[in-house]
């Protein structure tokens, strides 16, 4: 038996209002789009003024100055199916693509709308990825992670025991079907939930969030947040009134 799914967990989409971001870089592909006020950004040392968005490869230094308006920020796991599709859109030696107007970004992402709608961008991205008929063992692991991501003692052997495969065989099967590794899938699940808690539950401390989402401690949570998204958890905590998750 197989379970058919078009779900892609390797996208984290945020909305940020009136926010200036310091110089940073990260492991995820990033799409930044404004659907109201143009903003300035310096990418790989080159300043771009009054733009409406950009797409950057992983580990490219950049920062944004968007003191007015709203930015839509989409972070994508580089080795997921959708990340690999984005990789194919760059020209040789190209590190980033700048969108001067909403029309340019819509043309790039092949949306059907004339005005920028990040929902349409997401749909257009997903439309380029064929629906996957997941092996039932992969589907079982996905369900397990969804229900148990907060357990800090999950190991490759934990997954292997669930579906009666060796860790290496399961890792190969999972990567073949999702494009990324089991460890990255678990990490993204934890980070997405942690960010949701930071932005929706002001009563929790960052240490509470770290423990409640499966990280060993706050330093480990800090490390993965900065590595993947280029910012520590406290940056979200201190600006939670300006940011929300899709």
Q: What is the pLDDT of residues 100-156, one digit of tens each?
A: 988 888 889 888 776 677 778 888 888 888 777 889 999 999 999 999 999 999 999
- Position with higher pLDDT, 80 vs 215: 215
Residue whose pair of structure tokens reads 């579906």 in the numeric block: 163
Question: What are the residue ranges of CATH 1.10.10.60 in the chain?
Answer: 134-245
Side-chain-side CA neighbours of 188 within 13 Å: the count stands at 21
pLDDT at 8: 54
pLDDT of 2 higher than 70: no
Average pLDDT over residues 30-50: 91
Angle between the 167-178 and 182-200 helix axes, to the nearest 10 degrees? 70
* Mean pLDDT within 51-60: 94
What CATH number has the domain spanning 134-245?
1.10.10.60
Work out the mean pLDDT of the chain and round it to a whole number.
87
Q: What is the pLDDT of residue 114?
A: 66
Within 13 Å and on the Cβ side, how many CA atoms surround 122?
18
Average pLDDT over residues 177-182: 86
Which CATH code is given to the segment(s) 11-127? 2.60.120.280
Q: What is the pLDDT of residue 246?
A: 65
Q: Stretch 45-55: mean pLDDT, rounded?
A: 94
List where CATH 2.60.120.280 sits in the chain. 11-127
What's the DSSP call for residue 186?
A: H
pLDDT of 36 higher than 90: no
At a CB cut-off of 8 Å and minimum separation 6, what does 242 contact? Answer: 16, 17, 18, 19
The shares of helix, strand and coil residues in the chain, as percent rounded to the nearest 5, are 40, 25, 30
Residue 239 pLDDT = 77
């Amino acid at each position: 038996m197989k379970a058919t799914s078009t779900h892609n967990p390797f996208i984290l989409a945020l909305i940020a209002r009136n926010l200036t971001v310091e110089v940073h870089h990260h492991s995820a592909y990033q799409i930044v789009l404004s659907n109201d006020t143009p903003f300035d950004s310096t990418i790989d040392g080159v300043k771009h003024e009054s733009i409406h968005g950009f797409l950057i490869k992983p580990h490219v230094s950049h920062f944004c100055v968007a003191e007015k308006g709203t930015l839509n920020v989409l972070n994508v796991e580089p080795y997921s199916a959708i990340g690999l599709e984005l990789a194919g859109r760059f020209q040789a030696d190209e590190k980033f693509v700048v969108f001067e107007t909403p029309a340019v970004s819509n043309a790039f992402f092949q949306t059907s709308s004339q005005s920028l709608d990040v929902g349409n961008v997401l749909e257009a991205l997903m439309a380029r990825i064929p629906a996957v008929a997941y092996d039932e063992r992969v589907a079982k692991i996905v369900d397990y992670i969804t229900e148990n991501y907060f357990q800090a003692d999950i190991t490759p052997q934990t997954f292997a025991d669930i579906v009666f495969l060796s860790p290496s065989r399961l890792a190969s099967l999972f990567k073949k079907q999702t494009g990324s590794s089991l460890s990255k899938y678990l990490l993204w699940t934890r980070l997405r939930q942690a960010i949701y808690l930071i932005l929706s539950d002001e009563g929790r401390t960052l240490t509470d969030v770290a423990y409640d989402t499966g990280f060993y401690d706050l330093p480990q949570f800090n490390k993965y947040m900065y590595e993947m998204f280029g910012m520590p958890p406290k940056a979200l905590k201190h600006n939670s009134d300006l940011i929300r998750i899709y």
